[in-house]
A = this chain, B = another copy of it.
Amino acid sequence: MIDSLIDKIEALQNPTVVGLDPRLSFVPEHIKKEAYEAYGKTPKAASGAFLRFNQEIIDAVHDLVPAVKPQIAMYEQYGAEGIQAYIDTIQYAKKKGLIIIGDIKRSDIASTAEAYADGHIGEVKIEEKSYTIYQEDTITLNPYLGSDSIEPYLGHCKNYSKGLFILVKTSNPNSGEIQDLEIEGKKLYERIGKMVDTWGKDLVGERGYSAIGAVVGATHPQQAAELRRIMPKTYFLVPGYGAQGATAKDLKNYFNKDGLGAIINSSRGIIAAHQKDLYKNQYKEKEFALAARAAVLDMKEDLQQIF
């Protein structure tokens, strides 16, 4: 997984991840109208509108970026039909050659974690038959329960060539309340960074990076420098660029000297670009996917400043 991700980042010269976090307010009227005409103003219509919206975005950006990151909450809120749209989005993006980062942030005790691991990055067995259900390539997890809550996923990463990004230092304003607490002179997020480094030791790929990555918010460049030292072989998934306020010049610390080590996510900044002043004069609402493509190209250019 991690080697394919790095190969794609290098081939495209772009460490951008497009966050597929749709909201009805982002979806153009013509897509919503068609969905409502078919299914009424229902969760099924909303889910169908999300899928079509995502498909057009994926069509417009799949040759520019290595990966997409669907946020499962946006789909899960609509129930079973929402979950189906999440799965269908993943299928569509995979067919277009994209790597899938499932932003699920799950956490549970080992016996329960096994069920999440089977469904998301392994296979579920029904008697002699096996099914791969969600088919993400890598997923985000929350570490608060400790090693035994992560271990079932580590086994699957080995057996199914999958990856993880574990929450270390998140991008939200109150992330410090717990994550920055000091333990014997070190911050909790540093301690967890070391744990992630350890969990990833047996899963280092040919390019020197582990399949077990870390989530480190773009809003914490100083902490990123420390974490980069603690976790030299860990890939960072970096949310918070754009809408959450971080800019390219904040991002240098997230990368290693080889120019690798981080992927930068943007969600709203790309998928809702057609609603931003910068793009809405150039693109009609129906051209939302072209606006997304333009936003990806602008972000790529912006990120060049890092190196």
Contact = CB atoms under 8 A, between A and B. Distances in A.
B146 A73 contact: no
Interface stretch (A124-132, A201-209, A229-237): A124-132
Q: How large is the interface on A (under 10, 10 to 19, 20 to 34, 35 or more residues)?
A: 35 or more
B174 A147 contact: yes
A177 B87 contact: no
Contacts of A36: 127
Interface stretch (A9-17, A77-85, A250-258, A269-277): A77-85
Given A83-B79, A109-B170, A126-B42, A143 B144 contact: yes
Interface string A36-79: 10000111011000000000000000000000000101101111
Given A41-B127, A119-B79, A126-B42, A146 B174 contact: yes
Given A77-B133, A79-B134, A148 B172 contact: yes
A173 B174 CA distance: 28
A110 B195 CA distance: 26
A179 B109 CA distance: 14
B73 A144 contact: no
A282 interface: no
A262 to B, nearest CB: 19
Interface in A164-181: 167, 170-179, 181
A106 interface: yes
A105 B167 CA distance: 14
Interface in A137-159: 142-149
B172 A110 contact: yes
B178 A192 contact: yes
Contacts of A247: none
B148 A174 contact: yes
A34 interface: no
Nearest to A130: B41
B191 A126 contact: no
Interface string A283-301: 0000000000000000000
5 contacts: A71-B112, A76-B119, A77-B116, A80-B83, A145-B170
